[in-house]
Structure 1
Amino acid sequence: MEAATGTSVLYVWSALANGLSIFGGLISDSYLGRFRVIAIGSLFSLVVSPNHPIFIFYH
């Protein structure tokens, strides 16, 4: 893959990753409600973060 093609792929991937997260947030808020999404996300973050190998290694 040439450098120009790789750069284009990276920019498209970055734009999709950022754009789809906003779109997913809007959809989840409309179906579940803002506070329920925040509660689920916080619970998921508390459960997953302490079990991640980087967290275990550095703390």
Structure 2
Amino acid sequence: MIAEINADVTTTDIFKLQRYFTFLSTAYQRKLEQVEDGAGDAHLYLDGVRDPARSRP
């Protein structure tokens, strides 16, 4: 079912964006997994701060 949100956007567009952001999130999480523990991975986090006592997701 395709519904029009407004003149330029449909529900299909919203679903495509959702899939795109899911892809980006997955790629980001995989990159985090490749970084060795504590080896400069703070730059990969959006807030730039990582609690060392907390385990990696």
TM-score range, shorter-chain basis?
A: 0.3 to 0.5
TM-score (norm 2): 0.46
Higher relative contact order (CA 8 A, sep 6+): 2
- More helix per residue: 1
TM-score (norm 1): 0.45
